[in-house]
């Protein structure tokens, strides 16, 4: 371990609902209770053992103000300390871990969820943009991704058609992930070929889905009692870029690089290549490539190489966020994936993995980035 | 109170909802000048006093160095097209205006997007009737022979636009799920209120739900709940406000339906102003639902609760 952490925190349990295009017969609370009750299963921990709850969701997506107040019971937060993080759930995990390392609790529950099927998620994304000069000219998650993509592809001389390898691989992996309703054969529908923000087609964009994810973080003394395979959190970092998309770097994510550098400093890693399992979030295929380069898994302009058949077996074995993007929760899903794979609780991912990295992104055009590293022994 | 078995014949699916919120957004000094000057067909940017970066739209703070000292400059309405993306909201583009350091996010209008190329010269297209908003500059169009112009000091500038009226409208279709769907189906078709019992604390919960919050255990049996109860707390409403369903005065009340342990928020009505003043509605009052002629499948199918006599129905 890099820096001196007196206390240690571990992921001791995690669970997700199935991710579906629409859970039209479930409320948020139904999805949340399902994930939360499953996350505790097998740990021997009961809700009474949970000291605090940290959760991520969006009032805009939920269609109600301070929506966590209505979901407290479903999260098991009745008469407990509870905090909402208005950012992807991976930031909630960092908050919870920090509380445990600081000694203000021994068991923390982290919850993230959304049901973007209940509204048009593009409205949610445009509400993030500055309303005077950015929102009215059509800035949203699609147009931001399109602008990044055109410049990235031009700079590195990559044919937009080559991006099919990225979405194909993601959807093929999701087909093998029974927790996601995405099947690779779905991409045969012409719907996915439509250009939504040239040069990007709909198949290049993260597909919003409904779902919830929950994760239990525990201090070392608890972790050793409740599991013989604690997944230690070894590093955490986050960084944010300028709000104005036009002022950001055209073809790279320096904030993702800074977030990873912070996490690596804590964990003693030198780059993402040090990790057996890597799960990253992205709003688009090109966004995913830029994240992989920022965290050091590929040189600038070379992330496409990771999608050659047989390469990078530990990368987004779940399928990642392209086939199933639970907005506000996708980063925490990545952490759940890594922890499950390292903890021997997952049906996918490489065997024998002991180290992992989870990445989350937030904001318009992936302005904000968070990286968490994990290790089991 | 009776325990019922089986599922209702129909479960209501979803509820349409709209959030429509009016805002008066405050543009601030620099953006306010930028917006105001568009009516004069001038594009105002800022030159950071610390790092000399020129950006447009004008900003109160430099995004690169964080400095807040700057000069306003007039940026030429011409530049190079750096990037664009064709979307259903138009062709969103980044244009590096002549003499600036940070690209300007706007749109390309006019012409076939297929004719665009990276680095192409473009020039501003202005709205005929300015509205005091960013779309007074409609966007940019190809202008191959447009020469490169220079940034100038702004000198005297227009009074900043202080406020922008903005209406945020968001539409939702909220899924009821099994528990609310069953409740509202029963209300709509059978005028029947249904709850669930927690197997741990034995409390009966209305609205019904999958988990008892207090015990965090899965709920058990469905229970039919009578439409009578006891008023737990109340407040007489005299003022009028937007969204009010019944004219004042009326009583806003927490009602514990007989046999339940949850409090239902509803109204007590059918009372004269004198009756309200005399305190005839108070905690402990027995009440009963007055059902509406409407069948919408919501709690507004109960017009209000009326005060009744008699002991609690156990
Ligand atoms: Zn500056
Ligand atoms: Zn209970």
The yes-or-no verdict on residue B1 having pLDDT over 90 is no
Tell whether A69 is covered by a domain: yes
- Round to whole Å and give the CA distance between B56 and B45: 4
- Which two tokens mark B148? 């490169």
pLDDT in tens, A285-337: 999 999 999 999 999 999 999 999 889 999 999 999 999 999 999 999 999 99
Ligand nearest to the CA of B213: 2
Query: Is there a contact between B209 and A29 if contact means CB atoms under 8 Å apart?
Result: yes
Contact B205, B226 (CB under 8 A): no
| pTM of the full structure | 0.94
Tell whether A139 is covered by a domain: no
Tell whether A308 is covered by a domain: yes
Query: Is there a contact between B85 and A151 if contact means CB atoms under 8 Å apart?
Result: no
Query: Domain total for chain A?
Result: 1
Share of chain A above pLDDT 90, in %: 94
| pLDDT for the residue A4 | 52
Give the residue among A257, A266, A234, A288 at the shortest CA–CA distance from A369.
A257
- Round to whole Å and give the CA distance between B27 and B34: 10
| pLDDT for the residue B7 | 44
Query: Is there a contact between A154 and B64 if contact means CB atoms under 8 Å apart?
Result: no
Q: How far is A124 from chain B (nearest CA, A)?
A: 9
Contact A11, A339 (CB under 8 A): yes
CATH number of the domain residue A102 falls in: 3.40.47.10
Q: How far is the CA of B4 from the centre of ligand 2 (A)?
A: 19
DSSP one-letter code for A89: H
Query: Is there a contact between A133 and B57 if contact means CB atoms under 8 Å apart?
Result: yes
**In this predicted model, which residue has the larger pLDDT, A42 or B160?**
B160
| pLDDT for the residue B311 | 63
- Round to whole Å and give the CA distance between B295 and B302: 9
- For A106-110, B12-16, B163-167, B302-306, which range has the lowest pLDDT when averaged over its residues? B12-16
Query: Is there a contact between A247 and B64 if contact means CB atoms under 8 Å apart?
Result: yes
What average pLDDT does the segment B172-184 reach?
95
Tell whether A146 is covered by a domain: no
Q: Which of A246, A254, A364 to mutate to test the interface with B (most CBs of B within 10 A)?
A: A246
Helix ranges restricted to H, B114-264: 177-190
- Complete DSSP assignment for A270-338: SSGGG-SEEE---SBHHHHHHHHHHTTSS-TT-GGGGGSTT--TTBSTT-TTSS-B-TTTHHHHHHHHH
The yes-or-no verdict on residue A5 having pLDDT over 70 is no
Q: Give the distance from CA A53 to its chain's centroid.
A: 19
What average pLDDT does the segment B51-69 reach?
94
Give the residue among B120, B94, B96, B97 at the shortest CA–CA distance from B105.
B94
Taking contacts as CB-CB distances below 8 angstroms, the residues of chain B near A250 are: 82-83
What average pLDDT does the segment B263-291 reach?
89
**What is the pLDDT confidence band of residue A348, given thresholds at 50, 70 and 90?**
confident
Q: How far is B12 from chain A (nearest CA, A)?
A: 9
Average pLDDT of chain A is: 96
Structural domain boundaries, residue A270: 9-120+207-375
The yes-or-no verdict on residue A142 having pLDDT over 70 is yes
Give the residue among A295, A272, A273, A269 at the shortest CA–CA distance from A282.
A295
The yes-or-no verdict on residue B248 having pLDDT over 90 is no
Give the residue among B184, B300, B309, B201 at the shortest CA–CA distance from B243.
B300
Average pLDDT of chain B is: 92
Q: Which of B27, B118, B214 sits opposite A132 (nearest CB)?
A: B27
Tell whether A131 is covered by a domain: no
**What is the pLDDT confidence band of residue B11, given thresholds at 50, 70 and 90?**
low
Beta-strand ranges (E) seen in A26-121 are 52-56, 81-85, 107-115
Tell whether A329 is covered by a domain: yes
| pLDDT for the residue B8 | 42
Q: Which of A47, A115, A245 sits opposite B105 (nearest CB)?
A: A245
pLDDT in tens, B16-35: 999 999 999 999 999 999 99
Chain B CA closest to residue A63: B172
Chain B, 246 to 275: residues with Cβ < 8 Å from chain A are: none
Which uninterrupted H or E stretch holds B193? strand B193-197
What average pLDDT does the segment B197-222 reach?
96
Q: Which of A138, A241, A284 to mutate to test the interface with B (most CBs of B within 10 A)?
A: A138
- Round to whole Å and give the CA distance between A147 and A231: 38
Residue with tokens 């899903």: A333
| pLDDT for the residue B110 | 85
Contact B49, B71 (CB under 8 A): yes
| B100 CB within 8 Å of a chain A CB | no
**What is the pLDDT confidence band of residue B273, given thresholds at 50, 70 and 90?**
confident
| pLDDT for the residue B165 | 93
3-state secondary structure B70-91: EEEEEECCEEEEEEEEEECCEE
**What is the pLDDT confidence band of residue A20, given thresholds at 50, 70 and 90?**
very high
| pLDDT for the residue B256 | 97
Chain B, 17 to 76: residues with Cβ < 8 Å from chain A are: 17, 19, 25, 27, 31, 34-35, 55, 57, 59, 63-64
**What is the pLDDT confidence band of residue A6, given thresholds at 50, 70 and 90?**
low
| A66 CB within 8 Å of a chain B CB | no
What average pLDDT does the segment B129-151 reach?
97
Ligand nearest to the CA of B212: 2
| A150 CB within 8 Å of a chain B CB | yes
pLDDT in tens, A240-251: 999 999 999 999
The yes-or-no verdict on residue A69 having pLDDT over 90 is yes
| A69 CB within 8 Å of a chain B CB | no
Tell whether A194 is covered by a domain: no
| pLDDT for the residue B3 | 41
| pLDDT for the residue A9 | 98
Q: How far is CA B273 from CA A101, B250, B289, in A?
A: 60, 8, 20
pLDDT in tens, A220-279: 999 999 999 999 999 999 999 999 999 999 999 999 999 999 999 999 999 999 999 999
Contact A357, A338 (CB under 8 A): yes
Taking contacts as CB-CB distances below 8 angstroms, the residues of chain B near A132 are: 25, 27, 31, 35, 57, 133-134, 164
């Amino acid at each position: 371990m890099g820096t001196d952490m007196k206390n240690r925190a571990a992921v001791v349990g995690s669970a997700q609902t199935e991710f579906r295009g629409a859970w039209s017969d479930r409320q948020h609370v139904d999805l949340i209770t399902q994930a939360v009750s499953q996350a505790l299963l097998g740990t021997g921990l009961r809700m009474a053992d949970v000291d605090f709850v940290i959760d991520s969701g969006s009032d805009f997506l939920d269609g109600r103000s301070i929506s966590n107040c209505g979901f407290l019971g479903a999260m098991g937060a009745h008469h407990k300390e509870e905090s909402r993080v208005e950012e992807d759930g991976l930031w909630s995990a960092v908050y919870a871990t920090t509380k445990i390392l600081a000694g203000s609790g021994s068991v923390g529950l982290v919850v993230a969820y959304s049901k973007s099927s209940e509204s048009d998620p593009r409205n949610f994304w445009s509400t993030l943009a500055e309303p005077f000069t950015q929102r009215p000219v059509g800035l949203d998650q699609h147009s931001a991704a399109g602008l990044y993509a055109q410049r990235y592809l031009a700079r590195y001389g990559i044919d937009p058609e080559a991006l099919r390898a990225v979405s194909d691989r993601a959807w093929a992996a999701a087909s093998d992930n029974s927790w996601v309703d995405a099947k690779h054969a779905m991409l045969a529908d012409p719907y996915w070929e439509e250009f939504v923000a040239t040069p990007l087609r709909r198949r290049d964009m993260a597909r919003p889905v409904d779902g919830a994810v929950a994760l239990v973080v525990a201090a070392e003394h608890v972790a050793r009692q409740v599991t013989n395979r604690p997944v230690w959190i070894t590093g955490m970092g986050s960084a944010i870029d300028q709000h104005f998309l036009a002022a950001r770097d055209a073809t790279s994510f320096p904030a993702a690089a800074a977030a990873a550098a912070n996490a690596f400093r804590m964990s003693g890693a030198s780059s993402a290549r040090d990790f057996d399992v890597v799960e990253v979030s992205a709003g688009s295929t090109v966004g995913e490539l830029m994240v992989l380069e920022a965290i050091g898994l590929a040189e600038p302009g070379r992330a496409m190489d990771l999608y050659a058949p047989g390469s990078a077996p530990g990368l987004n074995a779940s399928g990642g966020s392209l086939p199933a993007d639970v907005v506000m929760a996708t980063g925490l899903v990545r952490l759940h994936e890594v922890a499950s794979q390292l903890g021997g609780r997952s049906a996918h991912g490489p065997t024998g993995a002991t180290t992992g990295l989870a990445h989350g992104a937030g904001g318009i055009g992936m302005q904000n980035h968070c990286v968490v590293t994990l290790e089991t022994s | 109170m009776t325990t019922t078995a089986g599922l209702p014949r129909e479960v209501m699916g979803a509820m349409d909802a709209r959030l429509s919120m009016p805002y008066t957004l405050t543009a601030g000094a620099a953006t306010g000048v930028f917006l105001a000057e568009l009516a004069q067909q001038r594009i105002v940017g800022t030159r950071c006093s610390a790092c000399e970066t020129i950006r447009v739209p004008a900003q109160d703070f430099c995004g690169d160095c964080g400095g807040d000292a700057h000069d306003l400059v007039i940026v030429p309405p011409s530049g190079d097209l750096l990037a664009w993306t064709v979307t259903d909201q138009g062709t969103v583009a980044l244009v590096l205006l002549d003499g600036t350091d940070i690209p300007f996010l706007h749109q390309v209008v006019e012409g076939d997007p297929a004719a665009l190329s990276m680095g192409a010269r473009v020039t501003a297209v202005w709205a005929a009737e300015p509205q005091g908003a960013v779309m007074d500059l409609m966007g940019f169009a190809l202008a191959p022979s447009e020469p490169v112009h220079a940034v100038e000091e702004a000198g005297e500038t227009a009074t900043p636009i202080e406020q922008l009226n903005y209406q945020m409208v968001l539409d939702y279709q909220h899924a009821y799920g099994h528990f609310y769907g069953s409740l509202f189906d029963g209300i709509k078709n059978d005028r029947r209120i249904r709850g669930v019992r927690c197997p741990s604390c034995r409390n009966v919960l209305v609205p019904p739900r999958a988990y008892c919050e207090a015990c965090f255990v899965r709920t058990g049996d469905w229970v039919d709940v009578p439409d009578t109860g006891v008023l737990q707390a109340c407040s007489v409403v005299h003022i009028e406000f937007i969204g009010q369903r019944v004219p004042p005065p009326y009583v806003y009340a927490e009602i514990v339906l007989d046999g339940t342990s949850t409090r239902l928020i509803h109204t007590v009505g059918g009372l004269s102003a004198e009756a309200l003043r005399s305190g005839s509605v108070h905690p402990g009052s027995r009440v009963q639902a007055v059902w509406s002629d409407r069948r919408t499948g919501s709690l507004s199918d109960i017009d209000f609760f009326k005060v009744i006599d008699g002991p609690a129905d156990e």
